Amino acid sequence: MRVAGLISGTSVDGIDVAVVDIGEGLHVVATSTVPYPPEVRDAILSVSNAATHTATIARLNFLLGELFAEALRETGVPLETIELIGSHGQTIFHEGEPVEFCGRRIASTMQIGEAAVIAEHTGIETISDFRPSDMAAGGKGAPLVPFLDYQLFRHPELARIALNIGGIANITVIPAHAKPDDVVAFDTGPGNMVMDAVAPPFDRDGERARAGRVDAMLLERLLADPYYRREPPKSCGREQYGAEFVRQTGIDIATATDLTARTIALAVGRYPATREVIVSGGGAHNRYLMERLATLLEARVCTSADFGIGVDSKEAILFALLAYQTCHGRPGNLPSATGARHPAILGKLSSGTKRKMGA
């Protein structure tokens, strides 16, 4: 077997390469060293060892591995019945669009929650780091949830839309009898983010919005944002609807709730063949918002719970499914949703040593 080994040492000089034939013995085919460009070396040194920020990330990575393993244990499902874990981890950075960096165009993402720790503490093979493989293939690393939506909700005759109302709201459009490439997914605009900022921690059942009055002038002005009429694919920055947005617009809870409902309706309205809109995410708990959606949308409005998928657990289910795909050597991204050049087998596999070693 011909195997390549790559390392850059702690002296941060450059990349050492060895190509080795391994079988009965070990035969070195080629070796070389490629120095780092000076600006890359400087960037590495600027984030290396002594930097406390890097220490926090490294320690958090291992700590979250423990917490994730413990969270699984707390479900009470016997670990020995579980064959595989898909762990998304905690995103601490995501930049789906390339930026200029050390003379190149680089898109990047970073999730922490060390999978080797999860595998060790549970004895179960663990797949992690799902987004980088899509980005390596030119995708934005998001959204990944359309893959689950497509598996769960595609229908030979009904055109459906899966709507997730998290901080940002997004939809997965699944035409009747859709092939993977027919699926479209994009952010519709604010989800709970503006509502939560105006009525913290959140407007239970939407009662405050129901009792309030929509500022029609403000709403009209906000809906004029060209984003809502732009062709997909498109995505919102989370910063767009943060505290600054609330301060600048002086928006109230009734208007914020209607902004979410109306921007969703604008997006869904692009697909008049849609017969069902299947809602998940925290917004599905907001009774008033759900009523507004039922009024504004032509299609039937229901929740993912009607399909056996709790509205709060769709993403965790997604990473179980993506791990299953990877473990079977099958891709897990939808290029039509992420913009990747091709389907990709997502994630990295950490072996659960303990069980394998019989310990």
Per CB under 8 A, contacts with a second copy among 278-297 are: none
Task: Report the residue number, 240 or 351, with the smaller CB distance to a second copy.
Answer: 351
With CB under 8 A as the contact rule, which of the stretches 35-43, 178-186, 227-235, 252-260 interacts with a second copy?
Answer: 35-43
Residue 151 binds a second copy (CB under 8 A): yes
Contact segment (CB under 8 A) with a second copy among 172-180, 225-233, 270-278, 327-335 equals 327-335
195 forms part of the interface with a second copy (CB under 8 A) = no
Return the number of the residue (123 or 232) whose C-beta is nearest a second copy: 123
Q: How far is the CB of 276 from a second copy (least distance, A)?
A: 18
Q: Does 29 bind a second copy (CB under 8 A)?
A: yes
Q: Which of these ranges, 21-29, 246-254, 260-268, 288-296, lies near a second copy under the rule CB under 8 A?
A: 21-29
**Of 18 and 218, CB closest to a second copy:** 18
Q: For residue 46, state whether it binds a second copy (rule: CB under 8 A).
A: yes
Residue 338 φ/ψ, nearest 5 degrees:
-100, -20
Query: Which residues in 72-131 contact a second copy (CB under 8 A)?
Result: 72, 74-77, 81-95, 99, 101-102, 104, 106-110, 113-121, 124, 128-129
Segment 47 to 76, residues that bind a second copy, using CB under 8 A? 47-49, 51, 53-68, 70-72, 74-76
Exactly one of 179, 204, 238, 300 binds a second copy (CB under 8 A); that residue is: 238
Minimum distance from CB of 359 to a second copy (Å)? Answer: 6
- Rounded to a whole number of angstroms, the minimum distance from the CB of residue 91 to a second copy is 6
Q: Distances from the Cα of 207 to the Cαs of 171, 202, 285, 286, 289, in angstroms?
A: 25, 10, 12, 9, 10
List C-alpha distances in Å: 27 to 8, 17, 22, 30. 21, 14, 6, 9
Q: Which one, 87 or 257, has the nearer CB to a second copy?
A: 87
Q: Does 350 bind a second copy (CB under 8 A)?
A: yes
**In which residue are the tokens 């519709």 written?**
188
- Site for a second copy contains 246 (CB under 8 A): no
Angstrom distance (rounded) from CA 139 to CA 63: 29
Choice from 27, 177, 287, 300 touching a second copy (CB under 8 A): 27
**What are the C-alpha distances in Å from 97 to residues 110, 334, 338, 351?**
14, 17, 11, 32
What's the token pair of residue 243? 């505290």
3-state SS of 276-311 is EEEEECHHHHCHHHHHHHHHHCCCEEEEHHHHCCCC
Angstrom distance (rounded) from CA 64 to CA 70: 10
- 240 sits near a second copy (criterion: CB under 8 A): no
Q: Does 266 bind a second copy (CB under 8 A)?
A: no
Of 181-189, 209-217, 266-274, 340-348: span binding a second copy (CB under 8 A): 340-348
CA 218 to chain centre: 32
Within 10 Å of residue 222's Cβ, how many Cβ atoms? Answer: 22
Shortest distance in whole angstroms from residue 298 CB to a second copy? 29
Scan for tokens 């998940």, then name that residue.
280
- DSSP SS3 for 113: coil
> Considering the rule CB under 8 A, would residue 9 count as an interface residue with a second copy?
yes
**How far apart are alpha carbons 42 and 39 in whole angstroms?**
5
CA angle 173, 166, 130 (to 5 degrees): 75
157-186 binders of a second copy (CB under 8 A)? 166-167
Tokens encoding 49: 């060892």
